Amino acid sequence: MEKVITVETMRKSDGYTIANYIDSKKLMYNAGVGVFNSYDYKGNIAIVCGSGNNAGDGYVLSLLLKEKNISSTLFLIKEKFSEDGRYYFDKCMEKNIPYKVCDESTDFSDYDIIVDCIFGTGFKGVARGIAGDIIDKINDSNKTVISVDINSGLNGDTGFGEKVVKSDLTVSIGYLKTGLLINDAEKYIGNLKNCDIDIELIGDYYTLVDNFSNAENVVEFDNFNSFTEEYNIIEYTNPLEVVTEIAKENDINILIKNLGKYSFLVTDKVKELSGC
């Protein structure tokens, strides 16, 4: 069963793993390998990179494609890099992999596949400026689109987003994040895969399950809005966490239907997210 976690849990787990088990550059390489193995890449590949570690996964992917004689071009939102991202970008330059800096003239018409590595799971707000423009260009391209870890512009906790990359495939890294499964996510994610890259999980998690027919004392809601209205919830950070809190306070199991592609059940001891 797949584990589902919050962005903060992912951040802590990532840091713990790097501090105790796996070098950060090796972990980034593992992520790139996971993305490479998740799809049968053919033709000419555009890899669109932001400035964080999500971009680094794209640089590793480009190196792996180069080894297989598959053409790729890096498109940089701007020439800014994380430390590990810079390491793999320099490796790409050593291999003479071409790159371009994105601007208003950026065009993806010559490419067969676009890989989205612009924003990671920690992104909040609305994509603006050149990043927002490039997201629009990706969505208007009619190309096969693969998003790395999360669709750029989508909130990794809540699954809400205003300007978001629409993907044919999203390759989650490490563990599924809640925002990949609820609220607006279904509008943007075609298929979803998760790649285990040996990150040591620190903290609570939810579990994808096949059914929850044996659960007792279940209070059902048709959607998330009806749940928040019932308990007078106005503000929240993560939908699953607020449901968990209410379930514990009231000693009940809560089932919310029609929440994106999934419903979820929360009990006082077990937190489960179930595919409908």
Residue whose entry in the numeric block shows the structure tokens 């053919």:
42
Give how far Cα 160 sits from Cα of 21, 119, 194, Å. Answer: 33, 14, 20
122 annotated to bind ligand: yes
Question: pLDDT tens per residue, the chain (276 residues)?
Answer: 678 889 999 999 999 999 999 999 999 999 999 999 999 999 999 999 999 999 999 999 999 999 999 999 999 999 999 999 999 999 999 999 999 999 999 999 999 999 999 999 989 999 999 999 999 999 999 999 999 999 999 999 989 999 999 999 999 999 999 899 888 898 999 999 999 999 999 988 877 655 555 566 778 887 778 888 898 888 776 777 788 788 888 887 777 765 455 555 555 444 555 543
269 annotated to bind ligand: no
User: In this structure, what token pair is assigned to residue 115?
Assistant: 């890989």
pLDDT at 268: 45
- Domains identified in the chain and CATH numbers: 15-195 (3.40.50.10260), 206-275 (no CATH)
Backbone torsions φ then ψ of 113, nearest 5 degrees: -135, 135
116 annotated to bind ligand: yes
126 annotated to bind ligand: yes
124 annotated to bind ligand: yes
pLDDT at 276: 36
Contact 42, 70 (CB under 8 A): yes
pLDDT at 196: 95
123 annotated to bind ligand: yes
With a CB cutoff of 8 Å and minimum separation 6, the contacts of 274 are 208, 209, 210, 211, 212, 262, 263, 264, 265
pLDDT at 208: 66
User: In this structure, what token pair is assigned to residue 123?
Assistant: 């992104």
Taking residue 48's Cβ as centre, other Cβ atoms within 10 Å add up to 30
Query: Which value, to the nearest 10 degrees, does the dihedral of the CA atoms of residues 6, 7, 10, 15 take?
Result: -140
In what side-by-side order are the strands of the sheet with 99-101? 99-101, 72-76, 45-49, 113-117, 144-148, 167-173, 189-195
pLDDT at 264: 58
Q: Which residues pair with 115 in a beta bridge?
A: 47, 146
Q: Which of 256, 252, 257 is nearest to 267 (CA)?
A: 252
Q: What is the rounded CA–CA span in Å between residue 259 and residue 266? A: 14
Q: What is the rounded CA–CA span in Å between residue 182 and residue 261? A: 7
160 annotated to bind ligand: no
CA 10 from chain center: how many Å? 11
Q: Which of 7, 15, 22 is nearest to 149 (CA)?
A: 7
pLDDT at 1: 62
Contact 248, 239 (CB under 8 A): no
